[in-house]
């Protein structure tokens, strides 16, 4: 579990399926720059929560994001070790009602601090689509340096996009 001034990042519990579905998974605009698709029914959301819980059991540094004020699950975030001392964020997503509040900054800061202070990271990697203005602004605010770009095809719609990769030395 990680904690910021406004958020708690912790592993999902099944009872929160409805919060995360209403706050994030049901919103197409939240999935726009991600590689997941929205969930439209309660049954699909419950199944997705089961998969999320199983995934987090295998990936201990991946979390749902909970807003302290409401107690609701509002997003997800995570990181994985790519090689010894090198950690990479694996995605940060917040529901549309929770963007523009500085929560992305708090999440990325918490991940970087955890990687540096407890996981012996010397570098932290970050990637985002070129057209994702919010993610680009977030990485700039932390001083991430560009490393390379790659052209990809979105498997959901076969549309091309450019994924930019960045690095922060810790």
Q: Mean pLDDT, to the nearest integer, of 140-146?
A: 96
CB neighbour list of residue 34: distance below 8 Å, 6 or more residues apart: 91, 93
If one counts every other C-beta atom within 10 angstroms of the C-beta of residue 59, the result is 14
Q: Mean pLDDT, to the nearest integer, of 66-77?
A: 98
Here the tokens at position 130 are 């070129």
pLDDT score of 165: 97
pLDDT digits (tens, 9 = 90+) for 22-53: 999 999 999 999 999 999 999 999 999 999 99
Residue 97 pLDDT grade (very low, low, confident, very high; cuts 50, 70, 90): very high
β-partners of residue 3 are 8
As a whole number of angstroms, the distance between CA 140 and CA 117 comes to 22
Average confidence score pLDDT of the chain: 97
pLDDT score of 62: 98
Let me know: does 2 contact 63? Beta carbons within 8 Å. Answer: yes
pLDDT score of 122: 98
Q: Mean pLDDT, to the nearest integer, of 70-88?
A: 97
pLDDT score of 30: 95
**CB-side neighbour CA atoms (13 Å) of 51:** 7
In the chain the domains, ranked by start, together with CATH numbers, are: 2-124 (3.40.630.30)
Element (H, E) at 103: helix 103-118
Q: Mean pLDDT, to the nearest integer, of 132-146?
A: 95
pLDDT digits (tens, 9 = 90+) for 54-68: 999 999 999 999 999
pLDDT score of 168: 98
């Amino acid at each position: 579990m990680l904690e910021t001034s406004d958020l708690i990042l912790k592993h999902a519990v099944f009872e929160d399926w409805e919060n995360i579905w209403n706050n994030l998974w049901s919103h197409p605009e939240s999935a726009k720059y991600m590689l997941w698709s929205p969930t439209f029914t309660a049954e699909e959301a419950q199944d997705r929560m089961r998969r999320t819980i199983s995934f987090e059991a295998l990936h201990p540094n991946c979390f749902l994001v909970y807003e302290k004020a409401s107690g609701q699950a509002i997003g997800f975030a995570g990181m994985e070790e790519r090689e010894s001392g090198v950690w990479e964020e694996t995605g940060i997503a917040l529901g549309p009602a929770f963007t523009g509040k500085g929560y992305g900054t708090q999440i990325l800061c918490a991940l970087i601090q955890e990687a540096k202070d407890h996981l012996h990271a010397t570098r932290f990697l970050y990637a985002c689509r070129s057209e994702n203005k919010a993610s680009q602004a977030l990485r700039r605010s932390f001083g991430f340096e560009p490393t390379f770009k790659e052209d990809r095809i979105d498997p959901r719609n076969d549309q091309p996009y450019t994924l930019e990769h960045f690095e922060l030395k810790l």
